[in-house]
A and B are shown apart, each in its own frame.
Chain A
């Protein structure tokens, strides 16, 4: 096991793509410990790529890209303005509210930062918000994208943990919304303190209805996509496929901002992003297999049980490990590395697979906003022309919402278990 971890660390430090670092460390392990099993490498590799459930991954990515290219972002921002624009720090609140809704549509935090940030960061700066605040709130609120269903990381976790995608989608809904509500509260407090403006929303009821009508078709999409999975009408893959068709129809024929010539590049981007994640999944299967061969998850479970510490303390340390991993490792590989190691320990501590999934994804989401590898920070930096250090400082107050929610879902299982129990039992 030491061979596996030491070689993996060296390969990762050398900057080798995570997928191939996993393959190389697996090869080192088999060469030295089980040379008789080495011929099975290509079989495991192919088995890792062969997953019907994971076809949902590029389809969900494409659904978000189509919605974004279809001009939904500006409509969602207009729609959010009606509801929260009049609050102190109105544009900040719009940023958070739009991210909550956009999170449900795109399932990706990075695309949320790119699309909402491109519109709102310059607009907020024009209205007197500090650049750090504008960029910070954008990246922090975008973390909801990977928590509020449908969520791409949740599909990856479902594959590794063999848990139902529908249950996981439902389990992450309340924590996702909770982060949004807390962030709205923080935005209002900071805005009172810094005297940020409210937005003038002088619209008649008819105008408000017209704006709502424009947005409603996009707003019902997550309900429709998640509902199809939860109620067993369609598998996650089928529901994502129909979501793509729906996003195409809305973008091309209802909103009419989606150009046909833009679709092939979006499809290419979606499948290439998916290939980058799938190759990690394929080679991580090797790593998971080695963990099982060495009985590492069981040993970790025995070790944790033997610590003779209260469960609350152990869970706190697990949260810290998740946050630390998210700081240095990207979300998808972090899910693939941590899930098989900790799942049996969590079961021994009475934490369900659904609750652990929600804890894991919520904790790793914070890593998107922390240097040095925070993907959202890099995107916001490109938009705002600020250094990632400054953006991180701007995001810090809002990360309180993430950390509070992380602790809440760790110690209050009802927050992640109530909805799945309501719909599935």
Chain B
């Protein structure tokens, strides 16, 4: 393999790993907050006959973000649940072609989501949540944010599929 292409693959893999680490840390911290809120809400209710205002709402919003961001990381790591036993029978160029089509289709549906998110956020984003009074767009934006990351991962993997070693083709690292 030419040296320039090897360096490019290394760079692409390295930045993807950094992005993975960053997103996983964010998602884990959000999950930790959800866990703490869940336990505190039970303790407050039974121990002090009280509650945390907006606790449940905050948990739901954090959970939405963990799904949107976590699903994007899973695209990068190739850990999504899929029926792969047929595709796994392929090798070499046919496998690369099928993987590329797969990544491009996943990217496509996420582009569609982003495209239709914009008017939706514009029209309903200014409404506020019932308890915390958070504007809706803060939650809605999780959809285009997560989808953008998925697109980024997909495009990176298409490049890696054709320039990197065979194991990067399926995204399993």
Taking CB atoms, residues of chain A closer than 8 Å to B99 are 15
Known A-B contacts A17-B106, A45-B143, A275-B74; the reply to A267 vs B116 at CB < 8 A is: no
Taking CB atoms, residues of chain A closer than 8 Å to B60 are 50-52, 55
**Helix, strand, loop or mixed for chain A's interface?**
helix
B4: interface (CB < 8 Å): no
Q: Determine if A330 and B28 form an interchain contact, defined as CB atoms under 8 angstroms apart.
A: no
Q: Determine if B70 and A276 form an interchain contact, defined as CB atoms under 8 angstroms apart.
A: yes
Nearest CB of chain A from residue B138's CB, rounded to whole Å: 12
Q: Determine if A275 and B83 form an interchain contact, defined as CB atoms under 8 angstroms apart.
A: no
Nearest CB of chain A from residue B57's CB, rounded to whole Å: 9
Q: Determine if B116 and A41 form an interchain contact, defined as CB atoms under 8 angstroms apart.
A: yes
B41: interface (CB < 8 Å): yes
Stretch at the interface among A88-96, A117-125, A233-241, A345-353: A233-241
Q: Chain A 31-54, CB within 8 Å of chain B: the 1/0 string?
A: 000000011111101100111101
Determine which of B59, B67, B140 lies in contact with A275 in the assembled complex, contact meaning CB atoms within 8 Å.
Answer: B67
Task: Give the total number of A-B pairs whose CB atoms are below 8 A apart.
Answer: 175
Q: Determine if A18 and B83 form an interchain contact, defined as CB atoms under 8 angstroms apart.
A: yes
Q: Determine if B35 and A274 form an interchain contact, defined as CB atoms under 8 angstroms apart.
A: no
A116: interface (CB < 8 Å): no
Q: Determine if B41 and A276 form an interchain contact, defined as CB atoms under 8 angstroms apart.
A: no
Q: Determine if A328 and B79 form an interchain contact, defined as CB atoms under 8 angstroms apart.
A: no
For the complex, count residues of A whose C-beta is within 8 A of B: 60
Q: Determine if A267 and B80 form an interchain contact, defined as CB atoms under 8 angstroms apart.
A: no
Closest to B143 in A: A42
Taking CB atoms, residues of chain A closer than 8 Å to B27 are 268, 271-272, 275
Q: Chain B 44-85, CB within 8 Å of chain A: the 1/0 string?
A: 000000000000100110011011111101110001111111
Known A-B contacts A272-B73, A276-B71; the reply to A373 vs B83 at CB < 8 A is: yes
Stretch at the interface among A6-14, A186-194, A307-315: A6-14
B126: interface (CB < 8 Å): no
Determine which of A18, A27, A49 lies in contact with B80 in the assembled complex, contact meaning CB atoms within 8 Å.
Answer: A18
**Helix, strand, loop or mixed for chain B's interface?**
helix
Nearest CB of chain B from residue A173's CB, rounded to whole Å: 24
In whole angstroms, how far apart are the Cα atoms of A17 and B144 in the complex? 19
Q: Chain B 91-121, CB within 8 Å of chain A: the 1/0 string?
A: 0000000110110011011101100110110
A168: interface (CB < 8 Å): no
Chain A 266-308 interface residues, beta-carbon cutoff 8 Å to B: 267-268, 270-272, 274-280, 282
Taking CB atoms, residues of chain A closer than 8 Å to B84 are 15
Q: Determine if A39 and B64 form an interchain contact, defined as CB atoms under 8 angstroms apart.
A: no
Closest to B25 in A: A268
In whole angstroms, how far apart are the Cα atoms of A13 and B87 in the complex? 7
Q: Determine if B119 and A39 form an interchain contact, defined as CB atoms under 8 angstroms apart.
A: yes
Q: Determine if A49 and B81 form an interchain contact, defined as CB atoms under 8 angstroms apart.
A: no
Determine which of A13, A41, A54, A330 lies in contact with B81 in the assembled complex, contact meaning CB atoms within 8 Å.
Answer: A330
Nearest CB of chain A from residue B146's CB, rounded to whole Å: 9
Closest to A15 in B: B87
Q: Determine if A15 and B66 form an interchain contact, defined as CB atoms under 8 angstroms apart.
A: no
In whole angstroms, how far apart are the Cα atoms of A280 and B82 in the complex? 10
Taking CB atoms, residues of chain A closer than 8 Å to B162 are none
Q: Determine if B116 and A42 form an interchain contact, defined as CB atoms under 8 angstroms apart.
A: yes
Q: Determine if A242 and B31 form an interchain contact, defined as CB atoms under 8 angstroms apart.
A: no
A58: interface (CB < 8 Å): yes
Q: Determine if B142 and A27 form an interchain contact, defined as CB atoms under 8 angstroms apart.
A: no
Nearest CB of chain A from residue B77's CB, rounded to whole Å: 8
In whole angstroms, how far apart are the Cα atoms of A237 and B62 in the complex? 14
Determine which of A18, A27, A279, A282 lies in contact with B112 in the assembled complex, contact meaning CB atoms within 8 Å.
Answer: A27
Chain A 210-259 interface residues, beta-carbon cutoff 8 Å to B: 234, 237-238, 240-242, 244-245
Q: Determine if B70 and A372 form an interchain contact, defined as CB atoms under 8 angstroms apart.
A: no
Determine which of A19, A234, A278 lies in contact with B42 in the assembled complex, contact meaning CB atoms within 8 Å.
Answer: A234
B32: interface (CB < 8 Å): yes
Chain A 33-86 interface residues, beta-carbon cutoff 8 Å to B: 38-43, 45-46, 49-52, 54-55, 58-59, 62
Besides A15-B102, A271-B27, A271-B28, 4 more A-B contacts (Cβ < 8 Å) are A14-B105, A20-B109, A267-B32, A268-B28
24 contacts between A and B (CB under 8 A): A12-B82, A15-B83, A17-B75, A18-B81, A27-B109, A41-B112, A45-B113, A45-B143, A46-B142, A49-B67, A54-B63, A58-B66, A62-B35, A238-B38, A238-B41, A241-B38, A242-B39, A245-B39, A264-B28, A275-B66, A275-B67, A275-B70, A276-B74, A279-B71
Residues of B within 8 A of A (CB): 24, 27-28, 30-32, 34-35, 38-39, 41-42, 56, 59-60, 63-64, 66-71, 73-75, 79-88, 98-99, 101-102, 105-106, 108-110, 112-113, 116-117, 119-120, 139-140, 142-144
The 4 A-B pairs at the shortest CB distance, nearest first, are namely: A275-B70, A241-B38, A17-B80, A15-B87
